Amino acid sequence: MLSDANLSVASDLLWRHWEEGRRLVELPSEVRPTTRAEGYAVQALVEKRSLAPLFGWKIAATSAAGQAHINVDGPLAGRLLREKAFASGAKLPLGANHMRVAEPEFAFRMAHDLPPRTGPYSVGEVTDAIGSLHPAIEIPDSRYEDFCAVGAAQLIADNACANLFVIGEAVDDDWRDVDLAKHPVVAFVSGKSQHNGTGAAVLGDPRIALTWIVNELSGLGIALQPGQLVITGTCVTPISVEAGDEVTGDLGRFGRVSVRFI
């Protein structure tokens, strides 16, 4: 396991590149995580960068295609910082964003905590702990020149490509008995293009994805806390965007969320 000093050096390096919009090929060998556990240990230090309690979590690589694209064999968890959260309708600069994509997603805010335990949580247990469903758009990014080449441990250290995200209002409509796997998700880009998907793109169902991250965190000794929000992964192929585009994610009866890039 990397020493505390080396974990801190890796975290500092990634954070500086995030804040300055710069890229690195990979972390230096002496501070480079080689296991998922080491990656999460580096990632955990990002929380001290925020002045607010942890806003929530994200899940990356929730489809087979997404995993193949970045050369990982399963999903990755990342932390969401309050300073990176925006309300629907936000105008956000793309700036030095390297990925330049937008991803419409299902998000869940938790009502009850799910403390670490020996056995896995079931989908039913996790669903019972949800307080509300929200439409969301993630605008991910990576601090690596080629994020497809560095592997899972370094991607986890890089906060699973977390960056900015936009959260819509809580859904009034009853969603608990709806088959979210079959529920359509449509994204529009400034009237130029339409992108279609369903909840099935997210590990088969957004609630399955949420259960995955609860159990991933449980294995790390971390509890998903009341009030924290989880964005569960893109329901469509990531949408390429440029300055001037407005992206709208339409979850039908479960609301709409939008962001304009400047």
Strands 85-87 and 90-92: unpaired
CB–CB of 7/42 below 8 Å?
Answer: yes
Q: Would you give the end-to-end CA distance of the chain in angstroms?
A: 42
Q: What is the model's pLDDT at position 74?
A: 97
Domain 4-261: give its CATH architecture: Alpha-Beta Complex (3.90)
Q: What single letter denotes the amino acid at residue 96?
A: A
Tell me the pLDDT tens digit for each residue of 29-43. 999 999 999 999 999
Mean pLDDT of 81-106: 97
Which band of pLDDT confidence, cut at 50, 70 and 90, is reported for residue 191? confident
- Give the SS3 label for residue 105: strand
47 Cα distance to chain centroid: 15
Mean pLDDT value across residues 54-68? 96
In whole numbers, what is the pLDDT of the chain averaged over residues?
Answer: 97
d(CA 72, CA 55): 26
Averaged pLDDT for residues 146-155: 98
Judged against a pLDDT cut of 90, whether residue 123 lies above it is answered with: yes
Distance, in Å, from the CA atom of 40 to the CA atom of 146, rounded to the nearest integer, reads 20
148 neighbors 69 (Cβ within 8 angstroms): yes
Banded pLDDT at 155 (limits 50, 70, 90): very high
CB 69 within 8 A of CB 99: no
Number of Cα atoms under 13 Å in the Cβ half of residue 53:
6
**Residue whose tokens read 């279609």:** 196
Residue 103, pLDDT score: 98
What value, to the nearest 5°, has the Cα angle with vertex 65 and ends 248 and 218?
Answer: 85
Nearest C-alpha neighbor of 213 from the set 87, 56, 72: 56
Name the CA dihedral angle for 70, 157, 142, 208, rounded to a multiple of 10 degrees.
60
Helices (H), the chain: 4-20, 36-44, 64-70, 123-128, 152-157, 206-219
Confidence of residue 46 (pLDDT cuts 50, 70, 90): very high
pLDDT, residue 198, reads 98
Domain ranges (residues) in the chain: 4-261
Which residues lie closer than 8 Å to 93 by C-beta, 6 or more apart?
Answer: 243, 261, 262
Mean predicted confidence (pLDDT) in 171-184: 96
Bridge partners, 164 (sequence order): 139
